[in-house]
Amino acid sequence: MRSLILSLLVAVPLSAEVVVFRDVNVISMTSPKVLAKQNVIVRDGVIDSVSTRLTKLPDGTKVVDGTGKFLIPGLAEMHGHVPPVNAPNGATGDTLFLYVASGITTVRGMLGNEGQLALREQSKKGEIVAPNLYLAGPSFNGQSINSPQEAIDKVRAQKKEGWDLLKVHPGLTRDEYDAMAKTARAEGIRFGGHVPAEVGLEHAITMGQETFDHIDGYVELLEGDKGPVDEKKLAAIVKRSKDAGVWIVPTSALWEVLLGTIPLDTLKAYSELKYVSATAVEQWSTAFNNRLQQTPRDAVKNIVANRTRILRALHEGGVKILMGTDAPQQFSVPGFSLHRELLRMRDAGMSPYEILESGTVNVGAYFAKQDAFGTIEPGKRADLVLLHANPLTDIANVAKIDGVMVRGRWLSRQDLDEGLARIAAKHAR
């Protein structure tokens, strides 16, 4: 399994043990301030210092010129997927590289597969080019669980195997869900994802579900498919979510695709599709056309508008938002999908700094018991993205990447372009 995983990954040389970003503008994410002309020193995968002074460095130090550029913490994909390690045509390595090439240094994988735990450990050790991985096990759904006892057994098994969290899919009965939730609490493993119809949003919050991905359960509770949501009911569920410490992973851009609000011709013109097989694009197109026949257009318009309204209310009400897109998914290419998602968060009223928080500080807080990252401070994991322009003036500048660092490994723009070119060439053939 180890050799199989290594063979799938795009090879990029390890950088020096010590790296310095010289004369760079730092957005530390400890405040909205830009710290000008800073020198950020990284040693052994950890941020060593951030200062206007530059002390004598050991021979062999890698110097990255940050003049006129902006350094931010690495971003996160909090509802991502990692293909099985035996996926054909090197899909696993390609997916991990695509994440990194777009500045994503942390992925919360939301559907466990065989071999992923070994992949996670290789990422931690810096043996492969990949984001830091936090992984949910195989999902709890109406097909995988057929009784409360099966739910109990599956929780205990996944905890023993070492998964980071449990993934909830639709189809669980309330008794099965409750058995899962109570056992998860007893075993000390978190859970999140969807809200099964029989469970409902309010009961899921009561039972301790932490993340509600795709804003799942909110439109249903508020009957958002029928017209404008009731503002009093919206305010009440926002308060309840805030009081319970709920986290939201919106995935708004994907939902617009799944609901058919973006023309197919527009989707098929996405430049990032060159990193995807023609077969996948054909399958996505077929699925798109099929969905257009399934959901009434009036309901779709209501759902999309209300999802934005609900996200705005959750954010304004103090509920923590986590950056995520559900990639790879239909017309949602890993990494590139994130830059489309940022614009939807902006449309929901989030400022550039607040959007960055959702992929840095908030993610660091969510995983605080497991690691230290999400800000540019001494002692934090060296996950960094160097940008050509200030993302605080325009969040779209997050896409203007000059290089990415994952756990102290520096990938220059040239490294990223070469890796992307290899993936594109594979699909062009």
The per-residue pLDDT for 5 is: 42
The per-residue pLDDT for 15 is: 47
410 in Cβ contact with 129 (< 8 Å): no
Task: Give the C-alpha separation, 11 to 70, whole Å.
Answer: 26
What is the percent of the chain with per-residue pLDDT over 90, rounded to a whole number? 90
Sheet holding 247-249, edge to edge: 165-168, 190-193, 211-213, 247-249, 320-321
Name the CATH topology of 79-366: TIM Barrel (3.20.20)
CA distances to 212, 288, 300, 339 from 293, rounded to whole Å, are: 27, 9, 12, 29
Task: Give the C-alpha separation, 100 to 81, whole Å.
Answer: 14
| pTM attached to this predicted model | 0.95
The per-residue pLDDT for 271 is: 96
Q: Which helix (H) or strand (E) holds 356?
A: helix 352-359
The answer regarding whether domain 2-72+377-428 maps to CATH 2.30.40.10 reads yes
What is the percent of the chain with per-residue pLDDT over 70, rounded to a whole number? 96
Give span(s): CATH 3.20.20.140, the chain.
79-366
Task: Give the C-alpha separation, 259 to 277, whole Å.
Answer: 23
Give span(s): CATH 2.30.40.10, the chain.
2-72+377-428
Task: Give the C-alpha separation, 150 to 406, whole Å.
Answer: 39
Within the chain, which residues score under 50 in pLDDT? 1-15
The per-residue pLDDT for 293 is: 81
pLDDT 10s digits, 377-392: 999 999 999 999 999 9
Beta strands in 184-340 (DSSP E): 190-193, 211-213, 247-249, 320-321
Pairing of strands 18-26, 190-193: unpaired
The per-residue pLDDT for 429 is: 60
